[in-house]
Amino acid sequence: MSKIAFVFPGQGSQVVGMGQELANKHPEVMNFFNKADETLKGKLSSLIFEGPQEELTKTVNAQPALLTTSIAVLSLFQKSGIKAEYVAGHSLGEYTALVAAGALSFEEGVYAVRKRGEFMEKAVPNGEGTMAAVLGLDREKLADVTKTVDESGFPVSLANLNCPGQIVISGSVKGVELAGEKAKEAGAKRVIPLEVSGPFHSSLMKPASSELRAVLDSLDMKNAEIPVVANVTADLMNDATEIKEKLIEQLYSPVLWEDSVEKMIELGVDTFIEIGPGKVLSGLIKKVNRTVKTYSVSDEESCLAVIDALKEEKL
């Protein structure tokens, strides 16, 4: 019997038209897009379905758009009766995982990530912070590099520990540039600047944490019904108070994705189902452990294919 984890993508997976086919065919799916519009008092749904992409990609739009689409897809997929033993999400995707686990209502989740996007955009003026992917250097060496640069007065730190040999660094433009150069000197194969609007998961995001705390305090956070693997610890959380603290820490702490995947495998998970647009997490999971099964569900075709594949496994 498979042990299943549902995982939810983070910012960067957004694409114009995501979820539209399902919404057109299934009123219960469209209902989530309508609820998002009502909650945010705007037409998020038309931005998701029609674009433009550059508007959708803005942090303040991408975050609620991805949560809405992933939960809408999940609602259809769950009709098959397939359940998860654990849930996790990458950065923004952690909020989606919390909605999936019953810790947050859908409306509260959408509202929280819209505010989170606003606070993240506001924390650091545009152009002052950035991120870069460092390939082919282990985390200890890269942590030493970022520590040296950070202590010399140019903020930079590890932001996303995605899989072996792929770590994203985040901080001031100069800090990321210097750390990138030093990473290459230390043996990194490549350093790729990322198209992002800010230095996410770095100390520069700390100014946003008090505002986020006020928003999370206003929500009716509940204990999670399914254990959630936390980004900041790669450990299980289901207590409402702990969840809130971890979400605040997550703003300025690294996302331990590789460790989170390892944790779920350690707990017996052998099947990961990525729910929402793209296949980024499936790719990362395969780089962490090639023996586990990964599936991606984003539309009707993939939804039916995954349901069939899992039913066949049970036969």
Write out the catalytic residue numbers.
91, 201
Nearest to 284 by CA among 260, 308, 267: 260
CA–CA dist 61, 54 (Å, integer): 10
Torsion of CA 98, 104, 106, 110, to 10 degrees: -80
Convert 290-310 to b/e letters by CB count within 10 Å (16 or more is b): eebbbbbbbbeebbeebbeeb
DSSP characters over 40-58? HTS-HHHHHHH--HHHHHS
Is residue 146 a contact partner of residue 156, using CB atoms and an 8 Å limit? yes
| CA distance linking residue 72 with residue 76, whole number of Å | 7
Angle between helices 209-217 and 240-252 (to 10 degrees): 160
For 190-227, give the DSSP string: EEEE---SS-TTSGGGGGGHHHHHHHHHTS-----SS-
